[in-house]
Amino acid sequence: MRTFLTSLLVLTSLCLWAQSSPQAAITELFDAMRASDSTRMKNVMHPTATLSTLSNQSGKVSVGTVPTSNFLSSIARMDKGLANEQIGHMDVRIDGNLAQAWVPYSFYLGDRFSHCGTNAFTLVKDQDEHWQILSIIDTRRKVNCATLSDSLTITSLDSIMNAWHHAAATADEDVFFGTMSADGIYLGTDATERWLRDSMAVWADPFFQRDVAWAFTPKERYWYFSDDGQTAWFEEHLGSWMGVVRGSGVLSLKPNSNEWELRHYNLAMAVPNEKMDAVRIAIDPTAKKRE
């Protein structure tokens, strides 16, 4: 009897923890799906929860609704690990007792890919401060799937930026300027060097007529992401004819796409502090050394 009560208390505490935030409730839902545990799933769902799917077939858009009880029953009949829904970065917005979450996903039947899309969650917080899932509506497709993990996203972003620098080193203006957004900004090392993409393309055209426009070799790079996962920014060190220089920039996902574009890049010389007076005087001969 004591063992049963202990297990019950542990299960209850886990369920309460799973509802302590919208993110925890959503994570618990998918963990329970993979475990084929419909009881755990039901514990994080509101009694009036609804499940819907938005489909677009041959240009015809429709919304299908699945009774929650049917959904839970189907999961309970599955072998453990068969309903394997992998989720990406959650964009969660909260106002009081209401939360909404935008969650990209890829669904696998075991290890076999089935489809991908986005889950849109609505959650509510009850009088006991527990979050419950009130509704889910999802999209479904088999192509143009979002990258779900930060490590894979970083690998993709590194490839984009490495290719961008390589494009300058090989005078490939299509790749170089095609990576930048139409309103993209480039800041060079000279105080006058602030260009919008198309203005820079005109200025740089003579350089891109050569075998090498300019050559910067990435040495290290660090990435950061916005809460909604739509924006990434970085800092990097590059080898160049000026020595080691520092670059930083911002990329964002194109609207309704999983394709990144470079919105802002800033190139700066890395001047040692002890050399700063010499640099200042070289720029302005009337400048005086600091005391």
The amino acid that residue 120 corresponds to is A
With a cut of 70, say whether residue 12 has pLDDT above it: no
What is the torsional sign of CA 42, 44, 49, 52?
Answer: negative
With a cut of 50, say whether residue 243 has pLDDT above it: yes
Q: What is the pLDDT of residue 273?
A: 84
In angstroms, the Cα distances linking 180 to 153, 164, 171 are: 18, 9, 15
CATH 3.30.1330.10 is held by the domain 150-276: no
CB 270 within 8 A of CB 245: yes
What is the signed CA dihedral for 78, 8, 124, 89, rounded to 10 degrees? Answer: -60
Number of H helices, E strands in the chain: 8, 13
CB 212 within 8 A of CB 193: no
The pair of structure tokens assigned to 83 is 């309903």
Q: What is the pLDDT of residue 3?
A: 55
Coil, helix or strand for 144?
Answer: coil
With a cut of 90, say whether residue 144 has pLDDT above it: no
- Smallest CA-to-CA distance from 192 within 203, 177, 176, 206 is with 203
Q: What average pLDDT does the segment 194-206 reach?
A: 97
Q: What is the pLDDT of residue 227?
A: 79
What is the torsional sign of CA 257, 161, 245, 199?
Answer: negative
Q: What average pLDDT does the segment 86-100 reach?
A: 93
CB 235 within 8 A of CB 248: yes
With a cut of 80, say whether residue 92 has pLDDT above it: yes
Q: What average pLDDT does the segment 71-75 reach?
A: 96
Q: What is the pLDDT of residue 256?
A: 76
Q: What is the pLDDT of residue 55?
A: 87
Which of 18-27, 209-218, 249-258 has the largest mean confidence? 209-218
Instruction: Provide the H-helix boundaries in the chain.
Output: 2-18, 22-34, 38-43, 68-77, 150-169, 173-179, 197-208, 276-283
How does pLDDT run across 37-53, given as a tens digit for each residue? 999 999 999 999 999 99
Instruction: With 0.85 as the threshold, say if the pTM is over it.
Output: no
Question: Residue 11 — very low, low, confident or very high, per pLDDT cuts 50/70/90?
Answer: very low
Q: What average pLDDT does the segment 217-235 reach?
A: 92
Q: What is the pLDDT of residue 18?
A: 58
Q: What is the pLDDT of residue 20?
A: 85
Could you tell me whether strands 131-139 and 45-57 are parallel, antiparallel, or unpaired per DSSP bridges?
Answer: parallel
Q: What is the pLDDT of residue 289?
A: 80
How does pLDDT run across 260-285, given as a tens digit for each residue? 999 999 999 988 888 888 888 888 88
Determine which of 115-124, 189-198, 201-210, 221-230 has the lowest per-residue pLDDT on average: 221-230
Question: Residue 257 — very low, low, confident or very high, per pLDDT cuts 50/70/90?
Answer: confident
Question: Residue 132 — very low, low, confident or very high, per pLDDT cuts 50/70/90?
Answer: very high
Which residues does residue 267 pair with via DSSP β-bridges, in sequence order? 247
Q: What is the pLDDT of residue 115?
A: 95
Which of 12-16, 85-89, 152-156, 199-203 has the largest mean confidence? 199-203
CA distance 151 to 153: 5
- CATH class name, domain 2-139: alpha beta
Q: What average pLDDT does the segment 62-83 reach?
A: 95
Mean pLDDT score across all residues of the chain: 90
Identical topology for domains 2-139 and 150-276: yes
Domain ranges of the chain: 2-139, 150-276
